[in-house]
Amino acid sequence: MDPLSDVLSLLKPRSYMSAGFDAAGPWSIQFPDQQKSIKCGAVVSGWCWLSVEGVADPVRLETGDCFLLPSGRPFRLATDMALPSVEAGTVFSNARAGGIVSYNGGGDFLLVSSRFALAGDHAGILLRMLPPIVHLRKKSDQAALRWSVERMMQELREQQPGGFLVIQHVAHMMLVQALRLHMAEGLKGGVGWLFALADKQMGAAINAMHDDPAHRWTIQALAARAGMSRSTFALKFKQTVGTSPMEYLTRWRMLLAGDRLVNSSDPVSAIALSLGYESESAFSTAFKKVVGRSPRQYSRGRNPASPSHSEGEAVSADRLVGVAG
């Protein structure tokens, strides 16, 4: 797989609510805190204001605009920010099975959206690399997303057999495409592994590490993959990704290890060998340095079937998030 697919696979995004919203007249809807989730939406027709907690100014969403809300913060959609808000739960209470919710009779404004729960243990790796609002409004961005949006609307309207599965897949397509477009914007100066993927040279080095994390990579070998001198590569990687190539490689290995410690019965020795460590002790030392706990402590403290996480687990995820720059 490619690096973005690798990371999304570890984070296990699961679309658990997709719906359409058809509104008319003045309205204002408040959405609650949505931790460890991403909201992805597209305006099919009309316009509204989007306000996210902690962001000073609201954003005006126009027809064709797409947006991501990666922070999980409470947010508000409204035609007039001065209006008192209605809680989203009262409006969307019947939308969990899909379909289109009508408000005030509908006809003026139409939105399709999906909410993704991130079931992986290290959601911060992706979420902290993104601003509170990713607003995609260029015509080229809209064109790239148009098929997915139109297909989503068709499935929500018609509700044919198998529609739930189609909506899930289309929602994932919208999410990945929106991330791709945001990555492309990062060529203008964004820092972090997500933006680095859009850089041909840095992307080549990151792809090499993801393709073979057990390989004994050196700065020189990675620089050769990028077609650069060793010193120039090391400097550009640090500037673009936010960490050194070897730090990135180590943290990526530890993310893979953490996933296997939770979701497989593989012994620590086998995991260590598969990630390029000649001894279990060397691997354990590296793992504890990055995560803050030994592999065995980490695996004992995790329950993959449980959606909740202890405070200690949150600390481990924070330390791992350094892979994102």
User: What is residue 302's predicted lDDT score, i.e. its pLDDT?
Assistant: 58
Q: What is the mean pLDDT of residues 183-203?
A: 81
Q: H or E element: which one contains 269?
A: helix 268-274
- List pLDDT tens digits, range 199-221: 899 999 999 999 999 999 999 99
By mean pLDDT, which of 91-95, 167-171, 185-189 is the weakest?
A: 185-189
The CATH 2.60.120.280 portion of the chain extends over 3-187
Average pLDDT value over all residues in the chain = 85
Please give the pLDDT value at position 320: 37
Average pLDDT over residues 132-140: 89
**Tens digits of residue pLDDT in 31-46:** 998 777 888 999 999 9
Identify the three-state secondary structure at position 257. helix
- Give the CATH superfamily of 194-324: Homeodomain-like (1.10.10.60)
pLDDT category at 301 given cuts 50, 70, 90 is low
> What is each CA distance from 309 to 21, 221, 257, 266, in whole angstroms?
32, 39, 18, 22
Whether the Cβ atoms of residue 174 and residue 145 lie closer than 8 Å to each other: yes
Which residues, including other chains, have CB under 8 Å from residue 113's CB and lie 6 or more apart? Answer: 18, 19, 21, 39, 40, 41, 42
Nearest to 195, CA basis, from 145, 143, 137, 126: 126
The per-residue pLDDT for 271 is 95
Pairing of strands 66-69, 37-45: antiparallel
In this prediction, residue 192 carries a pLDDT of 81
pLDDT tens-place string over residues 86-123: 999 888 876 555 688 999 999 999 999 988 888 666 67
pLDDT band, residue 311 (cuts 50/70/90): very low
Average pLDDT estimate for 258-277? 92
Lowest mean pLDDT among 56-60, 83-87, 88-92: 88-92
H or E, element range at 49:
strand 48-52
Block residue for tokens 């019965």: 265
Ranges for all domains in the chain classified under CATH 1.10.10.60? 194-324
pLDDT given at position 183: 84
Give whichever of 43-47, 130-134, 239-243, 304-308 has the largest mean pLDDT.
43-47
**Residue 190 corresponds to which tokens in the numbers above?**
């964004």
Rounded Cα gap, residues 117 and 16, in angstroms: 7
For residues 265-275, give the mean pLDDT. 94
Q: What's the confidence (pLDDT) of residue 70?
A: 86
Choosing among 2.60.120.280, 3.90.320.10, 3.30.360.10, 1.10.287.310, the CATH entry for 3-187 is: 2.60.120.280
Pairing of strands 109-118, 37-45: antiparallel
Residue 294: CB partners within 8 Å, gap ≥ 6? 284, 287, 288
pLDDT, position 304 = 44
Sign of the CA dihedral with 287 first, then 288, 293, and 294 last: positive
pLDDT of 188 strictly over 70:
no
More confident residue, 176 or 118: 176
* pLDDT for residue 97: 56
d(C-alpha 201, C-alpha 233), whole Å: 9
| Three-state DSSP class for residue 57 | coil
